[in-house]
């Protein structure tokens, strides 16, 4: 296992339902990234947060996935982002983790954002995914999942939480607060990658893409409201030292999740 992991978080405006333009935009931004282990993009990075999946959905061999594989190979870095995926006649808001060698692992968003009707358009996932990459255990989650701490609860199974989002400006205080809370309660690095700009529904997004350490200290943040990125180096040895020294996780409750 490598002790350090470089993670790049890209905060960007998204072009509504324009897959080609979004892929071009992110490719240009990634040219500015010199060295990284993982590059993280926002939720539905190729389309924007849409409730019209039939207009933009792709399969797992579609254009966006092929592009992710090409970029992962080119940058020798994993790519992580959420896409609108159609599979077996249904739609998913799916996090796709692409390894540099083209291997793919996925996570389907568990908590659909009912306020926007996401639950009526997309099928929720039932399983949490832990990706092992370069020795690190990574838990990818999506936007509204952030509000539900049980789903992200640490069970000796990950080293870093990564949330991809389209989280609007009016509720950005919740985004900031909950990212910090997830880091503290799980004694884990926690990174949240959000978008900026306005979407076709005139919802405004101001970013606040951030990273927190296992004590809840903010260790990186993008420029508010601007297209921006950061690359941060995480250290699992230092995190484990803090976990062992304080032992808060030893006192956590055991429980079973009942899916409804």
| 112 neighbors 77 (Cβ within 8 angstroms) | no
Could you count the other beta carbons within 10 Å of the beta carbon of residue 162? Answer: 24
Q: Which of 6, 29, 43, 75 is catalytic?
A: 43
Tokens of 10: 């890209």
Look up 143 and say whether it is catalytic. Answer: yes
User: Which of 139, 143, 190, 214 is flagged as catalytic?
Assistant: 143
Q: Which of 75, 109, 139, 190 is catalytic?
A: 109
Catalytic: 109? yes
Euclidean distance between CA atoms 61 and 59, whole angstroms: 5
Residues with active-site annotation: 43, 109, 143
């Amino acid at each position: 296992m490598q002790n350090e992991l470089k993670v790049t978080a890209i905060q960007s405006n998204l072009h509504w339902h324009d897959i080609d333009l979004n892929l071009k935009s992110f490719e240009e931004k990634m040219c500015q990234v010199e060295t990284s282990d993982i590059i993280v993009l926002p939720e539905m990075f190729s389309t924007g947060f849409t409730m019209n999946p039939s207009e933009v959905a792709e399969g797992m061999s579609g254009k966006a996935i092929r592009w992710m594989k090409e970029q992962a190979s080119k940058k020798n870095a994993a790519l992580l982002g959420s896409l609108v995926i159609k599979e077996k006649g249904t739609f998913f808001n799916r996090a796709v983790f692409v390894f540099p060698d083209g291997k793919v692992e996925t996570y389907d968003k568990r908590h659909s954002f009912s306020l926007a009707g996401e639950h009526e358009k997309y099928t929720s996932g039932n399983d949490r995914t832990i990706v092992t990459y370069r020795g690190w255990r990574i838990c990818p989650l999506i936007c509204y999942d952030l509000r539900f701490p049980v789903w992200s609860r640490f069970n000796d199974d990950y080293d870093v939480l990564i949330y991809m989002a389209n989280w609007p400006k009016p509720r950005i205080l919740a985004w900031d607060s909950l990212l910090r809370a997830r880091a503290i309660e799980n004694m884990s690095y926690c990174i949240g990658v959000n978008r900026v700009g306005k979407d076709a529904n005139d919802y405004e997004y101001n970013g606040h893409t951030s990273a927190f350490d296992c004590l809840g200290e903010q260790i990186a943040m993008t420029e508010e409201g601007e297209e921006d990125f950061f690359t941060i180096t995480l250290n699992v040895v230092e995190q484990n030292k803090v976990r062992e020294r304080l032992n808060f996780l030893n006192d956590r409750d055991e429980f079973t999740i009942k899916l409804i």
